[in-house]
Amino acid sequence: MNDAQERVEQTATLAGRMLTQVYALLSNHGITPNAVQQQMLTSHVRAMAHRSVTGEPLPEVDASLFDEISPESMNLAREVVAAFGNLPEEEAWLLSVHFEVAKENL
């Protein structure tokens, strides 16, 4: 197996494990994303897994764009990012938007 194939497999495995954790975390907090939100969140977590495996950086992100995100959503996102173990804080900022939007479904 070459390096590219190995990275693809590592990414898929990591994404699957993290998606299970993300949806369990959301469920434990009474947050239920709708079908479109699930699709977007799944795509984002897969991209996070890709960046975790490859080391590909995010483009620069302005922290002030996330000032209105609730502490609950940000903390949940930080928990997910911490579970990856090697992603920057900016990943939590972006992920928190998915959680914040899904909270509005209540």
Q: What would the pLDDT profile of 31-71 be if each residue is shown by its tens digit? A: 999 999 999 999 999 999 999 999 999 999 999 999 999 99
Contact 90, 61 (CB under 8 A): yes
**Domain coordinates in residue numbering, the chain:** 3-103
Amino acid identity of residue 29, one-letter, is H
- The CATH number that domain 3-103 falls under is 1.10.1790.10
Amino acid identity of residue 40, one-letter, is M
Strand runs labelled E in the chain: none
106 pLDDT more than 80 = no
pTM of the model: 0.94
